[in-house]
Amino acid sequence: MNIDKMVSALAKGIKQDNIRVKEAMGKHTTFKVGGHTDIFICPESVEELAHAIKTCKVHETPYYILGNGSNVLVKDGGYRGVVIQVYKTLDQVTIEGDTVVAGAGVLLSKLAKLIAKASLEGFEFASGIPGTLGGAIYMNAGAYGGDISQVLLSADVMDEDGQVLTLTNEELKLGYRTSIIQDTHYIVLKAVLKCKKRQSAGYLCKNR
Ligand SMILES: Cc1cc2nc3c(=O)[nH]c(=O)nc-3n(C[C@H](O)[C@H](O)[C@H](O)COP(=O)(O)OP(=O)(O)OC[C@H]3O[C@@H](n4cnc5c(N)ncnc54)[C@H](O)[C@@H]3O)c2cc1C
């Protein structure tokens, strides 16, 4: 890959500040190991993400989607291609009644706090899992008997052509630490979760 050529093509649809060259991957993974990636992008909108995917396709350049990097090990030789991180961007959360719409880049710990603050329950299992919502849907993350499949209604995903599709819980084929995302290479953009109104006082009152 000609890195300069690729960077200028990416910069046509992505802010320069969101594109880095020769980024050490150890900075972005929990285990803090691994070599550098040729190009590292943090798209701040769905449009920037779509531009990144389409540019990689046109230039026949491999890309890898990264969330919080808590379930990824990068080899010492690094990654030849473009790493696209969906983390703390695409992270908007809106809660109406018992329905939560959350961006793929939101951390599960933050989302669990927002859901609890809205007097909803059903997402407590995710509060200690150190990843993003996108990474959690990718592998149907879970703990303490709960998992994503129990609260997820649907997810918007982007395919390899940059098209956005909505998949229902059933269509996502969420099994034990698996989902259809692992086979299709879709990118999770956002999800709709259904929680329950909290019946008990819950942990928010414990500090009173
Ligand atoms: C200390 C520790 C404790 C953990 N405890 C648990 C636990 O209790 N339960 C559990 O299930 N897991 C656990 N994990 C594993 C990990 O936290 C989860 O797998 C988490 O869901 C990964 O999310 P992430 O954002 O870090 O994804 P990453 O590690 O960045 O990526 C993991 C995979 O998801 C894909 N991915 C990430 N974001 C997207 C997206 N937006 N669209 C499509 N694909 C995407 C990546 O390509 C990659 O293949 C733990 C990990 C650690 C280090």
Please give the number of the atom of ligand 1 that sits closest to the Cα of 188. 42
* Cβ-Cβ contacts under 8 Å for 18 (sequence gap 6 or more): 41, 42, 43, 44, 48
How deeply is 5 buried, as exposed, middle or buried, from its count of CB atoms within 10 A (0-12, 13-18, 19+)? exposed
Overall average pLDDT of the 9-38 stretch: 97
Overall average pLDDT of the 30-56 stretch: 97
55: pLDDT strictly greater than 70: yes
Question: What ranges make up the beta strands (E) of the chain?
Answer: 19-24, 36-41, 63-66, 79-85, 93-96, 99-103, 120-121, 142-143, 146-147, 152-158, 164-168, 187-194, 196-197
204: pLDDT strictly greater than 70: no
Whole-model pTM: value is 0.95
Are 133 and 108 spatial neighbours (Cβ–Cβ below 8 Å)?
Answer: yes
Are 84 and 65 spatial neighbours (Cβ–Cβ below 8 Å)?
Answer: yes
pLDDT-derived band of residue 202, with 50, 70 and 90 as boundaries? low
Q: What is the pLDDT of residues 84-120, one digit of tens each?
A: 999 989 999 999 999 999 999 999 999 999 999 999 9
Please give the number of the atom of ligand 1 that sits closest to the Cα of 71. 29
Compute how many other C-beta atoms are within 10 angstroms of the C-beta atom of residue 40.
Answer: 22
> Phi and psi for 9 in degrees, rounded to 5?
-65, -40
Site to substitute for ligand 1 among 86, 88, 138, most atoms within 8 A of C-beta? 138
Q: Specify the pLDDT at position 1.
A: 85
Please give the number of the atom of ligand 1 that sits closest to the Cα of 87. 25
The residue to which tokens 């698996």 are assigned:
178
| H or E stretch covering 134 | helix 133-138
CA–CA separation, 208 and 199 (whole Å): 18
Are 202 and 121 spatial neighbours (Cβ–Cβ below 8 Å)?
Answer: yes
In angstroms, what is the span from residue 139 Cα to ligand 1's centroid? 7
